[in-house]
Amino acid sequence: MEKSALIKEIRSKGSYLCVGLDTDLTKIPHHLLKEKDPIFEFNKQIIDATEKYCVAYKPNTAFYEALGTKGWDALEKTLDYIPRNCFTIADAKRGDIGNTSGLYAKAFFETMNFDAVTVAPYMGQDSVVPFLCYPNKWVILLALTSNAGSNDFQEINLADGDKIYERVIKISSTWAGSEQMMYVVGATKAEMLLKIRELIPKHFLLVPGVGTQGGSLAEVSKYGLNDEVGLLVNSSRGIIYASSEQDFYKSAAIEASKIASEMKIYLDNCIN
Amino acid sequence: MEKSALIKEIRSKGSYLCVGLDTDLTKIPHHLLKEKDPIFEFNKQIIDATEKYCVAYKPNTAFYEALGTKGWDALEKTLDYIPRNCFTIADAKRGDIGNTSGLYAKAFFETMNFDAVTVAPYMGQDSVVPFLCYPNKWVILLALTSNAGSNDFQEINLADGDKIYERVIKISSTWAGSEQMMYVVGATKAEMLLKIRELIPKHFLLVPGVGTQGGSLAEVSKYGLNDEVGLLVNSSRGIIYASSEQDFYKSAAIEASKIASEMKIYLDNCIN
């Protein structure tokens, strides 16, 4: 999907919400377990209920891999089911030496047809570039993550004064422009968005950690929005597990619509 | 597999060779393409031919993922086929926030039954620890990789004088001992093994990059071997694609046996 199409979709829906499809057999409503493919059935009902309120879906591949080939099958079916006007992100955090990263790119961009894949930066340029060879496909690079362990390495000071995550952003933003590269920046570090926006004023940021992990949508939007929106904010558990009843999808729709309503206010204030 | 069992296997075979099963449909002998599952058939013949000369097999998951569910099926069958006295490594380079890394651990240690998985360090402690909850299962953490891009971040100097990869080793080696943690150190940086051995004298190192990527087995062994062997040296393409003829497995066996013979000399000199 082109950047312009994504921005158009966000403006049309008044939402920059990404719904995380972290679908776990132990957490989905019990009545779905009798279905032939409970994971896909759950995702289908979540997608039907939330597509009005969001512009992107982000299945985290770990949840599907944990089930083996059945899980991959459910992931492929889910991707095929997502409406094509929605931006699709394989949250896979891959990265390997050049020829091998090329195969991950093939897995997510050819064998499956995701718009974007999350990539880990540790192995450097040749581990990222193979994903950038696909027109209108995106790399979403881990910069500053939302978990406790992000302090262990990402925030360490380098000899020249940068922190590691800042250096990751500075170097990697020379590999591709804001038409093909986004960055993961955790919502639990909202105040750091100010500095990150100085480094990459035009790039989209994918922001996890709003909701269950404690991040504030207001803060993230205040520091993160730019004149081309520039934000996708993800919520997973707070939406998809809002209820475990038969009509769980209604609760999911309500939670997604609440976030979208708040986003509309920030978009109206920021852009118009 | 316990560390003592791995060492025993290495001493019994006189080899610390790991064969990388980077199996690619475009590179395997043409006659196998008529098989129902060419990837598994290739792996099976490679395993039969090389198991005498190696102690570990390391399928890189990218090669299987690129084929979708069929690829995962071939991976599962391959793992089941590997003799249980061999150490098995899922070269997956995973890592995510705590609960999600737990699902990757489930994928590779429960759904499949690998002995070890390679993990990327960028997201810190809570992205690694879930893999360490399984007794006799191993994390092989990326420290200093063999590719060109390893210079982009891994070798940057920190404010306190360490390089990033050294800090990764120092911090992560407090999370688990040498009974559950190994490190990836590229053979193309053999001279750096000396410094790494000072930091982690007892840990096993998984060393890719010998052969096609240009690393020297003699150098790696000189600096890397310790009194509990402490090395697994991987070769992938140099062995498995040694020939594309009908009897490709014979060439693979010859290449593996050559490496094993050289290893036996280093082991005899170092340990006895």
- Per-residue pLDDT band at B13 (split at 50, 70, 90): very high
Does residue A210 have a pLDDT over 90?
no
Angle of helix B248-271 relative to helix B38-50, nearest 10 degrees? 40
| Residue in B with minimal Cα distance to A101 | B62
Does residue A126 have a pLDDT over 80?
yes
Q: Do A157 and B158 touch (CB under 8 A)?
A: yes
pTM comes to 0.96
B 182-211 near A (Cβ less than 8 A): none
Asked if A193 and A220 count as a contact pair (C-beta separation under 8 A), the reply is yes
pLDDT at A271: 56
How many angstroms away from the CA of A227 is the closest CA of chain B?
Answer: 30
Q: From chain A, pick out residues whose CB is under 8 angstroms from the CB of B73.
A: 69
Does residue B101 have a pLDDT over 50?
yes
Amino acid in the structure at residue B102: G
Does residue A213 have a pLDDT over 80?
no
Does residue A188 have a pLDDT over 90?
no
The secondary structure of residue A134, as a DSSP letter, is S
Tokens 């000369």 sit on residue: B53
A 43-62 near B (Cβ less than 8 A): 60, 62
Contacts 24+ apart (CB under 8 A), B241-247: B241/B27, B243/B29, B244/B27, B244/B28, B244/B29, B244/B30, B245/B29, B246/B29, B246/B31
Q: Do B121 and A122 touch (CB under 8 A)?
A: yes
Q: Which of B146, B151, B153 sits opposite A97 (nearest CB)?
A: B146
- Per-residue pLDDT band at B84 (split at 50, 70, 90): very high
Supply the residues of A annotated as catalytic: 93
Q: How far apart are CA B178 and CA B269, in angstroms?
A: 23
Tell which of A93, A126, A131, A145 to mutate to test the B interface (max B CBs under 10 Å): A93
Radius of gyration of chain A (CA): 18
Q: Do A97 and B147 touch (CB under 8 A)?
A: yes
Q: How far apart are CA B106 and CA A65, in angstroms?
A: 9
Radius of gyration of chain B (CA): 18
Structural domain spans, chain B: 3-271
Six-digit token pair at B175?
Answer: 């999370």
Say how many CB pairs under 8 Å bridge A and B: 191
Count of residues making up chain A:
272
Least confident among A3-12, A152-161, B126-135, B210-219: B210-219
- Per-residue pLDDT band at A272 (split at 50, 70, 90): very low
Q: From chain A, pick out residues whose CB is under 8 angstroms from the CB of B90.
A: none
Over residues B146-175, the pLDDT tens digits come to: 899 999 999 999 998 999 999 999 999 999
Q: Residues B208-227: what's their mean pLDDT?
A: 87
Q: How does the average pLDDT of chain B come out, rounded?
A: 95
Q: How far apart are CA A79 and CA B145, in angstroms?
A: 33
Q: Residues B51-57: what's their mean pLDDT?
A: 98
The secondary structure of residue A118, as a DSSP letter, is E
Over residues B195-210, the pLDDT tens digits come to: 999 999 999 999 998 8
Q: How far apart are CA A147 and CA B48, in angstroms?
A: 44
Tell which of A22, A141, A152, A164 to mutate to test the B interface (max B CBs under 10 Å): A152
pLDDT at B209: 80
- Cα–Cα distances in angstroms (integers) from residue A246 to residues A26, A48, A134, A258, in the given order: 16, 15, 41, 21
Asked if B182 and B190 count as a contact pair (C-beta separation under 8 A), the reply is no
Report the run of H or E that residue A204 belongs to, with start and end.
strand A204-207
| Residue in A with minimal Cα distance to B213 | A97
- Nearest CA-CA partner of B226 in B245, B200, B255: B200
- Cα–Cα distances in angstroms (integers) from residue B21 to residues A190, A206, B45, in the given order: 43, 34, 11
Does residue B83 have a pLDDT over 70?
yes
Q: Residues A244-258: what's their mean pLDDT?
A: 97
Six-digit token pair at A51?
Answer: 């597509």
Over residues A33-92, the pLDDT tens digits come to: 999 999 999 999 999 999 999 999 999 999 999 999 999 999 999 999 999 999 999 999
Does residue B65 have a pLDDT over 80?
yes
- Per-residue pLDDT band at A251 (split at 50, 70, 90): very high
Asked if A87 and A115 count as a contact pair (C-beta separation under 8 A), the reply is yes
Q: Do A100 and B63 touch (CB under 8 A)?
A: yes
pLDDT at B271: 56
At B161, give phi and psi (nearest 5°): 105, -25
Tokens 């992205």 sit on residue: B127
Q: How far apart are CA B105 and CA B134, in angstroms?
A: 8
B 232-271 near A (Cβ less than 8 A): none
Q: How far apart are CA A142 and CA A219, in angstroms?
A: 20
Question: Which H, E and C letters describe chain B, residue by residue?
Answer: CCHHHHHHHHHHHCCCEEEEECCCCCCCCHHHHHCCCHHHHHHHHHHHHHCCCCCEEEEEHHHHHCCCHHHHHHHHHHHHHCCCCCEEEEEEEECCCHHHHHHHHHHHHHHCCCCEEEECCCCCHHHHHHHHHCCCCEEEEEEECCCCCHHHHCCCEECCCCEHHHHHHHHHCCCCCCCCEEEEECHHHHHHHHHHHHHCCCCEEEECCECCCCECHHHHHHHHCECCECEEEEECHHHHCCCCCCCHHHHHHHHHHHHHHHHHHHHHHHHC
ipTM: 0.95
Residue A139 CB contacts under 8 Å (≥ 6 apart), including other chains? A116, A117, A119, A128, A131, A132, A176, A180, A181, A182
Proportion of chain A above pLDDT 90, given as a percent: 92
pLDDT at B272: 44
Least confident among A115-119, A265-269, B40-44, B253-257: A265-269
**Statement: B3-271 belongs to CATH 3.20.20.70:** yes
Centroid of chain to Cα B263: 16
